[in-house]
Amino acid sequence: MSRIVYVNGDYLPEDEAKVSIFDRGFLMADGVYEVTTIIDGKLIDFDGHFQRLERSLGELDIENPLPREDWLEVHRQLVAQNDVEQGMIYLQVTRGAPGDRDFVFPDPETTTPTVVLFSQSNPALVDSPKAQQGIKVVTIDDIRWGRRDIKTVQLLYPSMGKMMAIKQGADDAWMVQDGAVTEGTSNNAYIIKDGRIITRALSNDILHGITRAAVLRFAREAQMPVEERSFTVEEAKAADEAFVTSASAFVMPVVEIDGTTLGNGAPGPLALRLREIYIEESRKSAI
Ligand code: PDD
């Protein structure tokens, strides 16, 4: 069965879906995206992702092309039409296709945003073998632009970072600026020391993760102390535990940083507990 995707108001088989070569997403990475997880055929934290989408669009002066209810309907249609039990919905909005290449933004009256959504199934999302083992990370310089709080489709450096990690036999990279960890290539980064969960505070330096917000809320509710502050690579290597969070990884334990093993090399108990709580609570509030 061919996957059904959504493009600018139409539901189409994936090989019939088309976007212009003049689309500013394609030519200039002038667009934003969201990734919303599906568990049990339901959407996790839809409203968090919707609100961040509105914020990203607002920061780039792109008008939100659809009201919340329509976004929700498209997400649900794709889940239903593609029979997704576990996986994700990818959503992308670009400034549209003005019909020529120009650095100047096109007139929004004549060039409307391009909207693309598609689903990806991943039956191993919840019972992830990686989560049992934990992942290894290496550190790399954070050379991205200064507005990482906007979820743009400029993902070349994060993608290169992931490849640098794989070449070194690791799974992912943590990016470092002025000696402190900013975030992972596609996730937020945390360490745990003496029972305290430490993660960089929100600013333009990192993406404001929807999973981060939920996990910190659950941690505080479970009386786990949280410190929102920067931490160095040295501090991370000396931590008891570490983990990353994202819509697609949930809470993923980190067991090695730049070749230094954390604890006994197995996923830490607090990270695993947070993963359990996150999945349990997300299932309850999924829509
Ligand atoms: N990435 N930081 C970066 C740089 C990210 O790309 C992501 C998400 C996160 C975590 O955000 P959230 O918890 O809202 O997923 C943090 C998505 C999953 C991706 O690009 O596939």
pLDDT in tens, 144-190: 999 999 999 999 999 999 999 999 999 999 999 999 999 999 999 99
**CA 100 to ligand 1 center in whole angstroms:** 31
* Structural fold of domain 129-285: D-amino Acid Aminotransferase; Chain A, domain 2 (3.20.10)
Q: How confident is the model at residue 63 (pLDDT cuts 50, 70, 90)?
A: very high
Per DSSP, helices labelled H in the chain are 24-28, 46-59, 68-81, 129-133, 156-167, 210-221, 233-237, 269-285
- Whole-model pTM? 0.97
Q: Ligand 1 pocket: which of 88, 246, 274, 275 to mutate (most atoms <8 Å of CB)?
A: 246
What residues form DSSP beta bridges with 190? Answer: 199, 243
Pocket test for ligand 1, best of 52, 53, 188 (most atoms within 8 A of CB): 188
Residue ranges of the domains in the chain? 4-121, 129-285
Return the half-sphere exposure (C-beta side, CA atoms, 13 A cut-off) of residue 249: 25
Three-class SS of residue 86? coil
| Stretch 34-42: mean pLDDT | 98
Select the CATH number that applies to the domain covering 4-121 from these four: 3.30.470.10, 3.40.50.1100, 3.40.50.300, 3.40.50.150.
3.30.470.10
In the chain, the N- to C-terminal Cα span, in Å, equals 26
> Same topology for domains 4-121 and 129-285, yes or no?
no
- For residue 1, pLDDT beyond 90: no
